[in-house]
Chains A and B, each alone.
Chain A
Amino acid sequence: MSEEETPTKVGSTRRTVLKAGATTTLAAGTPLPALLGEAPASAAAAATATSPVEVSLTVNGVARPCTVEPRVTLLDALRERLGLTGTKKGCDRGECGACTVLVDGRRIKSCLTLAVMQQGKEITTVEGLARGDRLHPVQAAFVREDGLQCGFCTPGQIMSAVALIGEGHTRSDDEIREWMSGNLCRCSCYPNIVAAVREAAKEMS
């Protein structure tokens, strides 16, 4: 999926159907802001201080200006503002690793940082790995080794694996397991994920 086409995409994709479904469900009961845990705007002064700011995020080599409130995480900015939905939102508490991206080449959890804190950094998401139709060796290895079942954790697993191979933590399966420990897989595809990382590391060395 190219970055540019996502926001303007028309027609019914799996995602728009899911979104519509979710909205219908929510509308039946609680107001959306309450569900999101947002307090109603109180003092006018607070509203000014906390109002949206212009930021420019450099994602997959492209400068992407957007407007975010300070409280917007990097994860939400990528998904909701820039339409880069490859990065997944699992626990939103830094425990599952589905939101893993690279910032200046280092893997981080994008749910645990604010978009406003990441200006001027080079952000790489799963959308930035393939070269046209040619998959990144780690992506290809996950396909070959069947390193997924439902696939929800996969973008985070792949981003973590790309970083881990760069860090050199692939000397044994145990070492791969330890250094992939920040990425959970509820389908429990761990043996195949370890195999994919091991094979990709061999290929990339």
Chain B
Amino acid sequence: MRAFAYTPADSPEAAVRLAAEPQARYIAGGTDLLNLMKDGVQQHDRLIDINNLPLREITVSEDRVRLGALARMSDVAGHPGVRRRLPLLSQALLAGASPQVRNMASIGGNLLQRTRCWYFRDSTMPCNKREPGSGCSALEGLNRWHAVLGGSDRCIAVHPSDLAVALTALDATVTTLSAQGPRSIPVREFYLSPGDTPDRETVLRPGELITGLDVPATDRSAESRYLKVRDRATFEFAVVSVAAVVAVRHGVVRQASLAFGGVAPRPWRSPEAEQALIGRPLHAATVAAAGRALVRGAIPREHNGFKIPLVQRALADVLDGFGGRR
């Protein structure tokens, strides 16, 4: 790891002021950042330790759950109010990483973890995300893990966060603080598609600090499920994942909110699949139509074509849990 300076911040405002330095970066849990720095994927002149900031609250109220950016994955996953009101969040968090990492990793940092694309993580390989203009090694390389939806001819890396997929289905909002003041960003608008600039992954401005998340918990009639398909039983990133919030009444889908992981460069919400369900009985034909709508326009590469049927089957499996049939 290249040498850097270390400065603990004692308030969010002070942290933002320190972050005006171009090569400074916040550190919370450090579970992804330090690996990236050890591997020479990222280099920073200064780390601003934000762990002393008062951003650890987990507040469950009548219509929402408020999570401070520094709340740890394990604390949120195990919180009785979160498990009662937003079981999807707890399931998605427990599906990620290992117990030790969940004790360390912050909610805000989880949203900003970088892709597991092996070409991105290997600083000797061309990668447009790490080094704009150097080329994408995955397009013609080993791309079994890569995106079938939403990629570009510059980048097909997938976003690795389970939490972000769940938050996308739940229509959560990210709150931030920057030199321009506080703002709120819907998670659905937080991540950018790679396009020509895969190095830009979120709408955050340089030095903007995530302060927390607001997650609506209004609809008590809807049920939710998170399904993660991976290469081994646990402690692994998703090959594909599905987060679903669905309300079925008298056999008819009243509401459906579907987000997918492992298939796209950002958590992938599918309004097309949702529309194929809403107002219809949850029959096999409806489920199949939703699956087809989800993968319309998908682009398979040499090794990842299997994800197209797999994600449809994963969706069917999840919908089965709400009383649907395959």
| Residue A53 lies at the interface, judged by CB distance under 8 Å to chain B | yes
Instruction: Report yes or no: B35 in contact with A93, Cβ–Cβ below 8 A.
Output: yes
Bound together, the chains give a CA A182 to CA B236 distance in angstroms of: 10
**How many residues on the B side are at the interface (Cβ–Cβ under 8 A)?**
31
Instruction: Report yes or no: B34 in contact with A70, Cβ–Cβ below 8 A.
Output: no
| Residue A97 lies at the interface, judged by CB distance under 8 Å to chain B | yes
Q: With CB as the reference atom, state the residue of chain B lying closest to A156.
A: B100
Bound together, the chains give a CA A126 to CA B81 distance in angstroms of: 34
Chain A 109-123, CB-CB to B under 8 Å as 1, else 0, gives 101111011000000
Q: With CB as the reference atom, state the residue of chain A lying closest to B39.
A: A93
| List of A residues within 8 angstroms of B27 by Cβ | 114, 117
| Residue A3 lies at the interface, judged by CB distance under 8 Å to chain B | no
Bound together, the chains give a CA A73 to CA B40 distance in angstroms of: 16
| Residue B103 lies at the interface, judged by CB distance under 8 Å to chain A | yes
Instruction: Report yes or no: A114 in contact with B34, Cβ–Cβ below 8 A.
Output: yes
Tell which of B34, B35, B100, B234 touches A160, judged by Cβ atoms closer than 8 Å.
Answer: B100
Known: A46-B45, A109-B104, A181-B98. Is A114-B2 also a contact (CB below 8 A)? no
Tell which of A93, A97, A160, A178 touches B38, judged by Cβ atoms closer than 8 Å.
Answer: A93
Q: With CB as the reference atom, state the residue of chain B lying closest to A111.
A: B34
| List of A residues within 8 angstroms of B34 by Cβ | 73, 111-114
| List of A residues within 8 angstroms of B4 by Cβ | 50, 70-71
- How many A-B pairs have beta carbons closer than 8 Å: the answer is 100
Known: A107-B99, A181-B98. Is A112-B31 also a contact (CB below 8 A)? yes
A41-79, CB < 8 A from B? 41, 46-47, 49-50, 53, 69-71, 73
Bound together, the chains give a CA A148 to CA B234 distance in angstroms of: 22
| Residue B306 lies at the interface, judged by CB distance under 8 Å to chain A | no
| Residue A82 lies at the interface, judged by CB distance under 8 Å to chain B | no
Q: With CB as the reference atom, state the residue of chain A lying closest to B72.
A: A106
Report the 7 A-B pairs with minimum CB-CB distance, sorted nearest first.
A182-B98, A70-B6, A49-B5, A50-B3, A181-B235, A181-B234, A106-B103
A-B contact pairs, 6 of them (CB 8 A): A39-B2, A46-B3, A70-B3, A71-B4, A160-B99, A163-B99
- What 6 new A-B contacts, CB under 8 Å, besides A37-B2, A38-B3, A94-B98? A47-B3, A73-B34, A94-B101, A108-B103, A112-B35, A117-B51
